[in-house]
Structure 1
C-alpha cells in the first residue's frame, strides 16, 4: 500500500462531516453496539427502504449483526456525545455493560433503540460484503422511530460538532432596495457589530437588516450562494465572483492573564509563547490560520484547551490557564473572572487582516456599498495607506 496516499485519504475523510450513528443488535449472538460515522441511505424506493453501514471486520458488533441478521441505526442527537464515546470504546471502564448506562428499548427486530436519538431505523440484514478491512452491511428498514430532537451530532476534523443553520431560513423574496443581509466573523459581534448596525439603522431606518454570525468559510459560502449581500471577516479569499478588500491590516496580539510574567512586556515574538499552553478558539479558519502562522515560523503550538466561544477563551486566559492569539488588539478587557492583557506580537500574520467581502461591483446593491463604506470609516482607514511591516495596507484587494 502507498503509505502517503493512505495518510492523505485518512486526512481527507477526517474533513468530511458525518452524522454519528450507534449501530446496535440483539439476538442469539448477543447484544452489542458500535459507534460509526459511515451510515447512509441506499434506496427509499424498493419494497422497503434500505440503508448501509460500514463496520470493521474485527468489531464484535459486526460479527453479532451478521449472526443475528438484524440491526438498528441510531442517529445520535447533538447532546449525546456520551453515548457516542460509550459505544466507541473510549469509556473503557464502562465496557462491561454499556447498555446499562443509557435508556433504551427493543425495536420490532429486537435490536436496541436508543432513546433520545433523532432517528432510529430498525433493520433486517440483507447483505454483508467484506471490502478490505470493513464489512458493508445493507439492511431493509422494518421500523422507524423519530424523537423530538432534530439536531444531529456531527463528527468532523476529529471532533464533535453540532449541525446548526448557517443562514436564517427566509422564504420571503429579497428586495435589494430595502433589505440588507450582512455576515460577520463570529468574534466580531460584541465589539464591532452593534454600534455599526445602530449607526446604519439610524441613517436608513426603513431598511430591514439581517445579520449572520459564522466562521470564515461559512461566510464565503453564503456569499457565493447569494444568501448574504456583504460580509466582514478575517483572512484571504480566492473567489472570482467576490471582491475582498482589507479594511484593517493585521495587528496580532497575545492575550495573557494580567498577572502573567510576560504581560508586562512591550511586545512579544512567537517563539516567546510557542511552548506555553495555548487556548484555541475552535473554528476551522482559526485552526488553519494558527497552524499556518506557526508552520511559517518553524514552530508548533501547544494547544491545551479549545472552545468555540471567545468569551470562554478569554475567561480561561484570565484564569491563567494559557494564552491565546487575537488578530487585532481587543477594544475591551473582560472583567468577568479576571482581567487579561493584550501584548503586541511581532510577526507577519496576513490571516489576521480584517477584510470586507462583496460581490463584483456590477452586482453590488447600493445598500451593500454604503454599509461596507461605513465599515471602512469605522476603522478610520485611508485607502492609500502604504504597506507596513509586510502587512497588506487598507484598501488592498486580496485574493
Structure 2
C-alpha cells in the first residue's frame, strides 16, 4: 500500500485546523511532519489536496475535500476494527466536533468530561466556530458533527434536537424594565440594543423586532457573548439572547437580570447536526448520545430552578 493511516490522520488534522502548525500540536508532531505526509499523499494521488497560504495556513481543494471524506471513513473503520480488542460494548475511535462559539463554554467542556469518564477510548476534539464556519466544515468533512442552533445550516444535513429555548431579555440590574416580571419587544425597542457581531445572529434578533414592526436603535455588535453581557451589565443597552449561562454576573462582577418576553416569538433549538451523505461512526454516535442525556438533565435542573 502506498498510503498509510498515519498520512491520512495527519492530512485530516490539517483539514480540521486549516493550519499545519495547529494540526501538529494536536497530534504532538512537528509541522514539517504534517507537511511531508500531505506531500506524500499528493504524490500518490497526482493532485494537490490543499492550497498553501502564507505562514502555515492551508485550505482544501475540491479534490482534497473528496479525498479526505473517503480518508475519514477509512480511519474510522480502522479505529472500530481496533476496538474489537476491547470489551464488546466499548466505544473506540475519534470524533471531531464543531460547536457554535457562544454555546461552546456552556456545554462543550462538560460533554468532554462526561465522554472521558464514560467512554475513555474515544478521542474527542471540539472547535469553536461561527455559524457560517460550522456549515462549511460540515460540508467539507472537517468535522463529524456540529453543536449549534437552527441557524444557517447547509442543505443535506440531518439534525437531532437537544433542547428548545425561548428568547429572553437581558438587562442591567438597575434598569427600569426589571421592575416588572416580564417585558415586551416594544418596551425593549425604546432602548439601545447590544448585538452579537455574528451576521446570522444579529440579523435573526433584528428579525424578531421586524415581526412586530419595530426598529430599535443598535448600540453596536460585540465579538463575544461575554462582551455583549458585560456591555449590558454596565448600562450601555439591552439584549435578547437564547443561551443562558448559569451565572447572573458579567466578567467584571456587575449583575445581570433576565426577563421573559411577552410577545409570541419563534423558539430556538439547540441541536446536533451532521452531513447526511456521510455515515456516522460509533464514536460520533456515542458523543451524540451523551449530549442528549446531558441536555435532558439540564432541562430538568432548569425547570426545577424556575419552579423555585
TM-score by length of 2: 0.63
Aligned counterpart in structure 2 of residue 357 of structure 1, from 265, 269, 273: 273
Q: Which has the larger radius of gyration?
A: 1
Aligned counterpart in structure 1 of residue 120 of structure 2, from 205, 215, 238: 205
CA distance in 1, matches of 2:289, 2:263: 29
- Residue 274 of structure 1 is matched in structure 2 by 189
Larger relative contact order, structure 1 or 2 (CA cutoff 8 Å, min sep 6): 2
CA distance in 1, matches of 2:153, 2:232: 34
Confirm or deny that 1:222 pairs with 2:169.
no
Q: Are residues 271 and 227 of structure 1, via their aligned partners in 2, closer, same or farther at CA, if it must alter by over 3 Å?
A: same
Cα displacement (A) at 1:300: 1.6
Would you say the 8 A contact 1:252–1:329 is kept in 2? no
Confirm or deny that 1:368 pairs with 2:280.
no
Partner SS, residue 283 of structure 2: helix
Would you say the 8 A contact 1:250–1:349 is kept in 2? no
Task: List alignment gaps of at least 5 residues for structure 2.
Answer: 1-53, 60-67, 80-92, 298-308
Deviation readout 1:214-245 (Å, 9 max, x if unpaired): 11121111111111111111124664421123
CA distance in 2, matches of 1:363, 1:187: 28
Say which structure is richer in strand.
1
Q: How many residues align?
A: 217
Would you say the 8 A contact 1:250–1:350 is kept in 2? no
CA distance in 2, matches of 1:164, 1:275: 47
- Residue 196 of structure 1 is matched in structure 2 by 111
- Residue 317 of structure 1 is matched in structure 2 by 232
Partner SS, residue 263 of structure 1: helix
CA distance in 1, matches of 2:198, 2:164: 21
CA distance in 1, matches of 2:105, 2:260: 21
Partner SS, residue 336 of structure 1: coil
CA distance in 2, matches of 1:311, 1:278: 15
Would you say the 8 A contact 2:135–2:153 is kept in 1? no
Partner SS, residue 378 of structure 1: helix
Would you say the 8 A contact 1:289–1:351 is kept in 2? no
CA distance in 1, matches of 2:58, 2:227: 20
Q: Are residues 378 and 274 of structure 1, via their aligned partners in 2, closer, same or farther at CA, if it must alter by over 3 Å?
A: same
Aligned counterpart in structure 2 of residue 303 of structure 1, from 218, 221, 233: 218
Aligned counterpart in structure 2 of residue 249 of structure 1, from 150, 164, 167: 164
- Residue 77 of structure 1 is matched in structure 2 by none
Would you say the 8 A contact 1:256–1:323 is kept in 2? yes
Task: List alignment gaps of at least 5 residues for structure 1.
Answer: 1-148, 152-162, 166-170, 382-399
Confirm or deny that 1:341 pairs with 2:257.
yes
Partner SS, residue 320 of structure 1: coil
Cα displacement (A) at 1:308: 0.7
- Residue 187 of structure 1 is matched in structure 2 by 102
CA distance in 2, matches of 1:164, 1:268: 48
Would you say the 8 A contact 2:193–2:216 is kept in 1? yes
Aligned counterpart in structure 2 of residue 284 of structure 1, from 196, 199, 212: 199
Cα displacement (A) at 1:304: 0.5
Cα displacement (A) at 1:164: 11
Say which structure is richer in helix.
2
Confirm or deny that 1:380 pairs with 2:265.
no
- Residue 148 of structure 2 is matched in structure 1 by 233
CA distance in 1, matches of 2:271, 2:265: 14
Would you say the 8 A contact 2:164–2:267 is kept in 1? no
TM-score by length of 1: 0.50
